[in-house]
Amino acid sequence: MPVVVVGNPKPKSRTRAAAALIAEKLGGRPPEAVIDVVDLGAGLLGWGDPEVARAKATVLAADFLVVASPTFKGTYTGLLKLFLDQFGAGELGQKTTFAVMLGGAPTHALAPELTLRPVLVEIGASCPAPSLYLLDSEYDTSADLDTWLELARPYVPEAR
């Protein structure tokens, strides 16, 4: 079962829609869960919050992850970092993970590969495909998306 993690302070965002679309196109069915990190609220500011623990358990049970963020100031959001900081080093146990970022301009196209991917790898993600950057204005129509899906699809693990 694919699980989507979205770190956007704006709920129900294009970033969320893009990540859910990608998970569905890769997994062949809608994601089992979409964790809109903003819904976890102040529980992210400490350790041991039960809702955060439930979200972590959902992530840890996934067959594969799509982790998505809008680009803020050339990098992924602080909100997403608050959630990723809740995981210990290596805790994801080499879970297959696809890193995705949306941006308003092409300037920061390397941001997912250079900023988000290293953090995911630190907490134990296996990121076999290149990280994906999409312009927010064309996230669902971009030819880049189709090209990337072809690259990424062979790395999708069998559903358990």
Ligand X SMILES: Cc1cc2nc3c(=O)[nH]c(=O)nc-3n(C[C@H](O)[C@H](O)[C@H](O)COP(=O)(O)O)c2cc1C
Nearer to ligand X, 9 or 90 (CB): 9
Cβ contacts of residue 11 below 8 Å, gap of 6+? 36, 38, 39
**What amino acid occupies position 1?**
M
Q: How far is CA 110 from the centre of its chain?
A: 15
Six token digits for residue 114: 């250079």
Nearer to ligand X, 119 or 156 (CB): 119
Q: List contacts with ligand X (CB under 6 A).
A: 8, 10, 13-15, 70-74, 102-105, 107-108, 136
Nearer to ligand X, 105 or 159 (CB): 105
The answer to whether the beta carbons of residues 140 and 18 sit under 8 Å apart is yes
In whole angstroms, how close is the CB of 156 to ligand X at the nearest point?
A: 24
The answer to whether the beta carbons of residues 100 and 47 sit under 8 Å apart is no
Nearer to ligand X, 15 or 96 (CB): 15
Q: Rounded distance, CA 92 to CA 111, Å?
A: 22
In whole angstroms, how close is the CB of 16 to ligand X at the nearest point?
A: 7
In whole angstroms, how close is the CB of 89 to ligand X at the nearest point?
A: 28
In whole angstroms, how close is the CB of 4 to ligand X at the nearest point?
A: 13
